[in-house]
Chain A
Amino acid sequence: GNSVTQMEGPVTLSEEAFLTINCTYTATGYPSLFWYVQYPGEGLQLLLKATKADDKGSNKGFEATYRKETTSFHLEKGSVQVSDSAVYFCALRRTGNQFYFGTGTSLTVIP
Chain B
Amino acid sequence: EAGVTQFPSHSVIEKGQTVTLRCDPISGHDNLYWYRRVMGKEIKFLLHFVKESKQDESGMPNNRFLAERTGGTYSTLKVQPAELEDSGVYFCASSPPGTSGYNEQFFGPGTRLTVL
Contacts and interface: CB of A to CB of B under 8 A. Distances in A.
Contact of B95 (A43, A94, A97, A103): A97
A97 B31 contact: yes
Interface in B70-114: 91, 93, 95, 99, 101-110
Nearest to B58: A98
Interface residues on B, range: 20 to 34
A104 B107 CA distance: 15
A101 B89 CA distance: 14
Contact of A97 (B4, B42, B43, B56): B56
B110 A43 contact: yes
A95 B101 contact: yes
Interface in A39-90: 41-46, 49, 51, 89
A57 to B, nearest CB: 12
Contact of B42 (A31, A45, A96, A101): A101
Given A98-B45, A99-B35, A101-B43, A43 B109 contact: yes
B101 A100 contact: no
A107 to B, nearest CB: 16
Given A43-B108, A96-B56, A103 B41 contact: yes
A102 B44 CA distance: 9
Interface string A24-45: 0000000110001000011111
B8 interface: no
A32 B101 CA distance: 7
A36 B107 contact: yes
Nearest to A91: B43
B45 A100 contact: yes
Interface of A: 4, 31-32, 36, 41-46, 49, 51, 89, 91, 93-104
Interface of B: 3-4, 31, 33, 35, 37, 40-45, 48, 55-56, 59, 91, 93, 95, 99, 101-110
